[in-house]
Amino acid sequence: MIDRIREVVLVLDAGTSSLKGALYTRTGERLAMACAAYPLHTPEPHFVEQDPADYLRAAQEVSRQLTAVSNIHIHAVGFSTQTPTLVFCDADGEAVCPAIVWQDSRAGAQAAEMLATYDAAVREEWFGMDLPIAAATTPPKLLWMRDHRPDAWQRTRYVVQPKDYLAAKLTGGEWAADRWCAKGLANLDTGHMHPEWLALLGRKESICPPVRSMRDVIGCAVTNDWGIPADTPVMTGWSDALAAILATGALDQHEVGFVLTGTSEIIGASRREPRAQKGLFLVPPDVLESSAGVYLHYGPTQAGGSSLQWISRLLGKPVEDSIPAETKLSSIVCRPWWQGERAPYWDHTLTASFDGLREQHTAADVVLAVLQGVALQERVVLERAGWGATIKSITLAGGAARNATWNQIRANIHQTPIHVLRDTEASLRGAAIVAWNLRDTDGWLDADTILPDASQAEEAEQLMQRFRL
């Protein structure tokens, strides 16, 4: 008997701590998954960097593992990516310096200068959106490169995200960026760099690659180093945030929330209204290619799963041994701003704190407060994303969504039903939906529901009043 050949897409997600890959059938079945880790480098205070060669090594390693699966035919290769992580490439496609990771906050002075010199109307004209300007966002980091790495800056032909760097390597030099990942470089509406912005950067030609739909085929695989058959179509791909949001079903309905939790978190809601909220991104339907006319209001926070890593290092215990079974809310308020905070404050100078910590509290109480603090920050962002509307439910996915205790704490803080995706690898799943070019995602959104403990609603509200700035 001859085994049936299964049609799959191979998708790669270039995350902060590792690159993950998976094979998905058209109906959403995940046949295999692989992962390769890479390090973060912090050579100076506020610097967070990675070696682009590590992205390439990890992508090739993961791809070779997945293409070794028997009886498959790869329909296409898709990508998602951490963002904004900036890879500076020369005309030959080689990285000219370390990648500047989204966590990096070296460009505080450039951010302050931009805000003082160019008002919101000018920035809107340049970028086509109300783009937050802070040490964590793209424009100040480009200005930092201009000021502090002039040699590398002048050798730079394109500034891209990790997925775009990998796609160019796989296709032998086909450069592309999707509209959302190009924000802060190109104008969101036109896909081009504004002449005044280009001049401020000291450049004569655009350093943004051609902007394409995330569903476009940009080229075909041409290298054997990945194990991917030659002539396999390669897609533009999307940011990890939007790919994961797609996998929650939020692009198909209104007034639903989402929390995507990994090293950091992506939090927001789908709305009918286009009014931008301070400190949050507003993604219009045309960028999302949403037939439901959804506007996304969302923001990335600085800490999610990294909070567990922090407390585990502090206590000298593995992550899994640090999480208590207790889900009753703690009276301790933890603000988990270990590296400042992004949405909605965009202030890298904020510091973490514990309010209400007393001598009688145990290590388990502190761990519970940290988990609770992450959920409180989620609620701050969701309240702003909803601006008064009732959020009917919250869909949860990502690596930290695998812990039942933390999920119940979230439900109790939000006082809203939480739907936990059964396939928590939402960025990979969303990238697969894009690679298959699916418009109907029935069968892709299976989830389990956690209901809040209504008896803790008053305590959750009191905690929020203490937590808010």
* pLDDT at 440 (0 to 100): 83
H helical segments located in 319-456: 319-322, 363-386, 404-414, 426-435
Residue 56 backbone zone (phi > 0: left; psi -120 to 50: alpha; other: beta): alpha
What is the mean predicted confidence (pLDDT) over 214-237? 95
Q: Distance (Å, rounded) from C-alpha 253 to C-alpha 271?
A: 8
Q: What pLDDT is attached to residue 2?
A: 55
Map residue 91 onto helix, strand or coil: coil
Tokens of 24: 């998905």
Please list the residues that pair with 299 across neighbouring strands.
267
Residue 452 above 70 pLDDT? yes
57 burial via Cβ count (<10 Å: 0-12, 13-18, 19+) = middle
Rounded to a whole number of angstroms, the distance between the first and last alpha carbons of the chain is 66
Tens digits of residue pLDDT in 284-311: 999 999 878 899 999 999 988 889 889 9
- Residue 272 DSSP SS3: coil
For residue 212, how far is the Cα from the chain centroid?
Answer: 19
Residue 386, judged by CB atoms within 10 A of its CB (0-12, 13-18, 19+), counts as: middle
- What residue spans in the chain does CATH classification 3.30.420.40 cover? 6-236, 250-467
How many whole angstroms separate alpha carbon 296 and alpha carbon 285? 8
Cα separation of 335 and 186, whole Å?
Answer: 34
| Residue range 58-93, pLDDT digits in tens | 999 999 999 999 999 999 999 999 999 999 999 999
Residue pLDDT, tens place only, 389-445: 778 899 999 888 988 999 999 999 999 999 999 999 999 999 999 999 998 887 899
Q: Cis peptide leading into 84, omega within 30 of 0?
A: yes
CATH 3.30.365.10 for the 6-236 domain, yes or no? no
Q: What is the pLDDT of residue 115?
A: 96
**Residue 1: its pLDDT value, please?**
44
Closest CA to 17 of 66, 85, 106: 85
**Please, what is the Cα angle at 10 between 300 and 268, to 5 degrees?**
20
* 307 SS3 class: helix
d(CA 55, CA 35): 12
Please give the angle made by the CA atoms of 254, 260 and 261, to the nearest 5 degrees. 160
pTM: 0.91
250-467: CATH topology: Nucleotidyltransferase; domain 5 (3.30.420)
Residues 14-24, mean pLDDT to the nearest whole number: 96
Gap between the Cα atoms of 378 and 264, Å rounded: 11
- Least Cα distance to 307 among 333, 336, 331 occurs for 336
